[in-house]
Structure 1
Amino acid sequence: MIPPASFPKRRFNYLPAIFLVIASLCNGHAQPSKNKRASAPEQDFMYQYSIIDALMAGVFDGDLTIGQLKKKGDFGVGTFNRVDGELLIDKGHVYKVSYDGSVTEVADSDSTSAAFVKFFKADTVIQLKGPDLTYEKVQEQIRHLLNPNGIYALRISATFPTMTTRAEKPASKPYPTLSEHLKQNQVVFELKNTKGICGGFLLPPYLARTNVPGFHLHYLADDHKSGGHVFNFTADAVTVEIDMAKGFTIENNTNAEFEKVNLQPDRGAELKKIE
């Protein structure tokens, strides 16, 4: 477990042409929402099945069903067995974005090889206004607001003039590493004038090799006709819901391949190239 992290106590320096409207903030300090749930303490932790280094090394199958995953969180990201597309959970619904661009809601009987989830309830809501916001600028503003040692679930909603995402084709055995698989089996989508949500996490550097440090977001259009792993976007304004986790729990991948994989190599450089 990781001990609770607090929001930084500092005022904000605004980027040119970007204005922040901050709800639940006072004197430049993030304050917990009065509507924060009073539920079981374990629900305020991020849960993850498997670790990112195992997925990077080619452990593409897992035994955790989607039905079991939904008991661990109603919001999050991941992938499916054989890395068959991108997984996004939003408001308890689990969606798959496939390599052909289609979006489907997934049955509880399906399974995941890696997933990171949380029961989502925003502590803080901020609005970023442009014009000409980019994913990079949004990341910069969010990082400026939040404690770099914290674990945060993020839900970003907007109308996006441009949105660049990807989804993977399913792999075949014997499985290669993830970076090798993506060289020939990654499909990139250049979406235009789409409205929806980017869901996922902002994680600190100390989680490297277990999860994805920094921003890891997946996109789902409101009409459920497009989505994928977020590479870039533009927007004139975005609403960012932020839910700070108290810590995290990891369940090792229960598939037999996890016991055989070599997890000694540091795959951080490979991860940066594909994220």
Structure 2
Amino acid sequence: MKLTFKLIPALFLFFVSLSGSAQQKSASTNDNLYSAGYASAFIGGLYDAWYPYQALHRHGDFGLGAPAKLDGELIMLNGKLYKTQYTGKTTPVSDADQTPYAVVCFFKAKQFFKPDRQLNKAALFKYMDSVLTNQNGIYAIHISGNFKYLKTRAFPPVEQKPYLPLAAMLDRQHFFEFNTIKGDLVGYKLPAFMEGPHISGYHFHFLSDDKQSGGHIIDLIANNITIEVDTLSSYTMELPPTADFNNFDFKKDRKEEIKSVENGKKQ
């Protein structure tokens, strides 16, 4: 028994060392998904900013997230950050500001697709499922082109703590509808095993070509689009060093809440 007790820590340290080296190596490549914050904690009400936008640039040039105190929707495209507020106003973001939650990567397209037909949101996701066949793959997806119709949303900023979970504030959403608009969708398709720390499935934010409009995608009809895909091979996460995160209750299952928030309505 003594021998077993001594070998287990030694083997454990050996494998931890290997794992740490592998993580360090993969995190330094362009195929890493980086998360500042924990998705289910953010959706559960952790809206206070803690992570500098400036630091996000060390981990990616493409991604999405939320501004401080839930003041709209955040998007990163070609290394530049923009936020769309509940008023619909879309503006560049100062690197001096901070975010409560963001997911980014260095985007380098490895696959290109050009659907030959008009697609609504459900048909678009079905099409992407047909070409992104690894159900456990981590995909960064850039969709650009012409949209016959787009519906996006943004939340107004929260004011007083304790903050309500996002799913309890769906009646505060502001929706924006666009007809015949050109722009970019920035997002991800993440596997089920990443649910909780991340949002599994498809998640997209929009930015118009003129950089005047945006928001979280609720619905769409795509006319003539190009789909670029970067398949990622690793992910890393930085957790909020805050008392709110330290005391957050992770025992509650928020899967239905996440679905409601993603689709903009109670499921």
TM-score by length of 2: 0.85
2:167 aligns with: 179
Kept after mapping to 2: 8 A contact 1:61/1:255: no
| 2:67 paired residue among 68, 77, 80 | 80
Q: Percent identity?
A: 35
Superposition deviation, residue 41 in structure 1 = 4.1
The structure with the larger Rg is: 2
Kept after mapping to 2: 8 A contact 1:150/1:244: yes
- Alpha-carbon distance in structure 2 between the residues aligned to 1:103 and 1:122: 26
| 2:130 paired residue among 133, 144, 147 | 144
Matched, 1:89 2:84: no
Superposition deviation, residue 197 in structure 1 = 0.4
Q: How does 1:115-154 map to 2 (within 5 A)?
A: 115-130=102-117, 132-146=118-132, 147-154=134-141
Give unmatched runs, 5+ long, in structure 1.
2-38
| 2:154 paired residue among 152, 164, 167 | 167
Q: Which has the higher strand share?
A: 1
Distance 1:192 1:244, change over 3 A: same
- Alpha-carbon distance in structure 1 between the residues aligned to 2:135 and 2:166: 28
2:155 partner letter: E
1:8 aligns with: none
CA RMSD of aligned residues (A): 1.6
2:123 partner letter: K
Kept after mapping to 1: 8 A contact 2:155/2:174: yes
Give unmatched runs, 5+ long, in structure 2.
1-18, 20-25, 263-267
Q: How does 1:227-242 map to 2 (within 5 A)?
A: 227-242=214-229
Q: Which has the higher helix share?
A: 2
Matched, 1:65 2:52: yes
Number of residue pairs aligned between Structure 1 and Structure 2: 237
TM-score by length of 1: 0.83
- Alpha-carbon distance in structure 2 between the residues aligned to 1:139 and 1:64: 31
Matched, 1:189 2:176: yes
Superposition deviation, residue 176 in structure 1 = 1.1
Specify the SS of the correspondent of 2:145: strand
1:177 partner letter: P
Distance 1:148 1:40, change over 3 A: closer
2:194 aligns with: 207
